Amino acid sequence: MSDRQRGVLPGFGLSMGFTLSYLGLLVLIPLGTLFLKMAAMSWSHFVEVVLSPRALAAYRLSFGAALSAATINAVCGLLLAWVLERYYFPGKRLIDGLIDLPFALPTAVAGIALTTMYAGNGWVGQHLASLGIKVSYTPLGVVVALTFVGLPFVVRTVQPVLRDLPVAVEEAAASMGAGRLQIFFRLILPELLPAAVTGFTLAFARGLGEYGSVIFIAGNMPMRSEITPLLIMIKLEEYDYAGATAIALVFLVASFATLLFINALSLRVGARARTG
């Protein structure tokens, strides 16, 4: 392609060159080593590590907890977006600003705060303990930590859609005798759903790889409350680089599948918006 077709502005070579070298050195070469390391492994060893009962239990917990947390976030995120956009109450501005806290707060800090709060003698944990519910140092704790980490995603994807929803549609439906519930489920929810699904997937992908906030609250018992990133960490600390690589690779492929799913989804949503 000649420069004329590309555009008339200067700086293409410079900006593109810097972008590609930075990306190559910092991201692509390191990622490449993962595959090189993997290629040095025998297939039977790879399968043995990747399908060991401890690894399988870790995938199960990671995917299960991330899925549960993302589901909680989808429901509560819709509720929060709705309340923040449609109702007025004192302190609303403050809460709206605080929604992004999980993006800004270091995960380790979130981890120790949630663990202390939900521990058996903690502010919230002691009340739950009297009901017989244990949160800290159980798989339930993992879900709590991942819910915190993924909290902003659905709220922030749904909010702008809800804000731009034309009032006229609701007015028309109401004037023709539709009730609020009917309007919500038949008119509003279908409009919000694509954004909510995008937010859900982002929260899920984030929760899958999360480490800092989880390791404090999980208890980290093998087979029971050990997430996959922690298992990778333990293998590294034992200098079992091959084992860590194998598990990381399987985990990475799962994460990329999620990313591709998000992209395919947003393309479909975009196409729908154009034709609709």
65 versus 99: smaller Cβ distance to another protein: 99
Name the residue nearer to another protein (CB basis): 197 or 246: 246
- Compare residues 138 and 159 and give the one whose CB is closer to another protein: 159
Q: CA 40, CA 55: separation in Å to the nearest integer?
A: 20
Find out whether 181 and 100 touch, Cβ atoms under 8 Å: no
Residue whose C-alpha is closest to residue 142's, from 199, 56, 68, 76:
68
- Taken in order 127, 130, 135, 140, the sign of the CA dihedral is negative
| Least distance CB 271 / another protein (angstroms) | 15
Closest approach of another protein to the CB of residue 17, in Å: 8
Residue listed under structure tokens 């380790």: 108
Residue 73 to residue 155: CA distance in whole angstroms: 8
Cα 196–Cα 268–Cα 251 angle in degrees, nearest 5:
70
Q: In one letter, which amino acid is 58?
A: A
Q: Is 220 left (phi over 0), alpha (psi -120 to 50) or beta?
A: left
CB of 137 to another protein, least distance (A): 14
Q: Report, in Å, the least distance between residue 236 CB and another protein.
A: 6
C-beta of 125: minimal distance to another protein in Å?
11
The whole-angstrom separation of Cα 176 and Cα 170 is 10
Distance separating alpha carbons of residues 66 and 258, to the nearest angstrom: 12
Distance CA 225, CA 142 (A): 8
Task: Check: CB of residue 191 under 8 Å from CB of residue 272.
Answer: no
> How far apart are alpha carbons 196 and 42 in whole angstroms?
43
Q: CA–CA separation, 169 vs 166, rounded Å?
A: 6
Report the nearest approach of another protein to the CB of residue 13 (Å).
9
Shortest gap between Cβ of 48 and another protein (angstroms)? 20
Nearer to another protein, 126 or 255 (CB): 255
Q: What does the alpha-carbon distance between residue 138 and residue 145 come to, in Å, rounded to a whole number?
A: 11
Question: Could you tell me the smallest distance in angstroms from the CB atom of residue 45 to another protein?
Answer: 16
